[in-house]
Amino acid sequence: MGETKVMPKKVARRIEAIPPYLFAEIDRKIAAARASGVDVISFGIGDPDRPTPPHIVAALQRAAQDPANHRYPSYEGLPAYRRAVADWYARRFGVHLDPDREVVSLIGSKEGIAHISLCFVDPGDINLVPDPGYPVYALGTLFAEGTPHTFPLRAERGFLPDFSEIPSELARRAKLLFLNYPNNPTGAVADLTFFREAVEFARAYDLIICHDAAYTEIAFDGFEPPSFLQAPGAKEVGIEFHSVSKTYNMTGWRLGWACGNSEVIEALGRLKTNIDSGVFQAVQYAGIAALTGPDEPVRAMRQVYQERRDVLVEALQDLGCPVTPPRATIYVWVPVPAGESSTSFAEKLLERAGIVVTPGIGYGPAGEGFIRFSLCLEVERIRVAVERLKRAGIRW
Beta bridge partners of 219: 328
Cα dist from 317 to 42, 388, 395, whole Å: 20, 15, 10
pLDDT given for residue 101 in this prediction: 98
Whole-number Å distance between alpha carbons of 246 and 298: 10
User: For 83-121, what is each residue's pLDDT tens digit?
Assistant: 999 999 999 999 999 999 999 999 999 999 999 999 999
pLDDT band at 6 (very low <50, low <70, confident <90, very high): low
In the chain, where does DSSP find H-type helix?
13-16, 22-35, 54-64, 79-93, 109-120, 135-143, 168-173, 192-205, 234-237, 262-275, 281-292, 296-318, 342-353, 379-391
Between the CA of residue 10 and those of 7, 13, 15, 234, 342, what are the distances in Å?
9, 9, 10, 43, 34
| Number of Cβ atoms within 10 Å of the Cβ of 318 | 12
Count CB neighbours of 9 within 10 A: 5
DSSP structural state of residue 366: G
d(CA 359, CA 333): 10
Element (H, E) at 106: strand 103-106
Interacting residues of 90 by C-beta distance below 8 A, sequence separation 6+: 96, 97
For 186-239, the DSSP string reads T-----HHHHHHHHHHHHHHTPEEEEE-TTTT-B-TT--PPPGGGSTTHHHHEE
For 325-376, what is each residue's pLDDT tens digit?
999 999 999 999 999 999 999 999 999 999 999 999 999 999 999 999 999 9
Other CB atoms within 10 A of residue 214 CB: 26
Q: What is the pLDDT of residue 76?
A: 86
Read off the pLDDT band of 211 (50, 70, 90). very high
Mean pLDDT of the region 271-276: 95
DSSP state of 74: P
DSSP-derived secondary structure letter, 368: T
pLDDT band at 159 (very low <50, low <70, confident <90, very high): very high
Say how far apart CA 169 and CA 125 lie, in whole Å.
Answer: 13
Does the pLDDT at position 22 exceed 80? no
Q: Which domains does the chain have, with CATH numbers?
A: 13-51+296-391 (3.90.1150.10), 54-292 (3.40.640.10)
Strand partners, 151: 130
35-91 pLDDT tens trace: 888 899 999 989 999 999 999 999 999 999 999 999 999 888 999 999 999 999 999
- pLDDT per residue as tens digits for the range 228-257: 999 999 999 999 999 999 999 999 999 999
Tell me the pTM.
0.94
End-to-end CA distance of the chain: give it in Å, rounded. Answer: 64
- The whole-number pLDDT of residue 5 equals 61
- For residue 259, the 8-state DSSP code is E
| Whole-angstrom distance, CA of residue 36 vs CA of residue 45 | 21
CB 93 within 8 A of CB 230: yes
